[in-house]
């Protein structure tokens, strides 16, 4: 498996684990810049209407489900994520806005 395919599998496994939370409406995991590691996972999350979740709760949910290096180093909660006409999350737009 090439490095790009491995990275995609890593991000998808993190997204799947986060989506298990009933309060999560949608989730996208992108690479965020990191001074020590170069790039680390960053989760962009929308919540279902009326739901609440804090970063520590999300990380606690992931602890034991994922290897530590897969757990996002930061979580950004947003009201909505950009989507294509067919409804897919536009990760390029998220990377452009949240990667730094």
Alpha-carbon gap, residue 15 to 50, rounded angstroms: 21
pTM given for the model? 0.87
Find the CATH number of the domain harbouring 41.
3.30.300.30
1-46 residue pLDDT tens: 455 555 556 778 999 999 999 999 999 999 888 888 888 899 999 9
Nearest to 42 by CA among 24, 55, 60: 55
From the centroid of its chain, how far is CA 33? 14
Domain count, the chain: 1
User: Which domain covers residue 24, as residue numbers?
Assistant: 3-98
């Amino acid at each position: 498996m090439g490095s790009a395919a491995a990275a995609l599998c890593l991000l998808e496994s993190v997204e799947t684990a986060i989506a298990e939370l009933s309060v999560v409406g949608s989730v996208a995991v992108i690479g965020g810049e990191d001074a020590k590691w170069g790039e680390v996972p960053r989760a962009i999350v929308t919540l279902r209407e009326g739901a609440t979740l804090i970063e520590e709760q999300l990380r606690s949910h992931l602890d034991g489900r994922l290897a530590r290096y897969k757990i996002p180093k930061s979580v950004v909660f947003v009201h909505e994520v950009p989507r294509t006409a067919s409804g897919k999350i536009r990760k390029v737009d998220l990377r452009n806005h949240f990667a730094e």
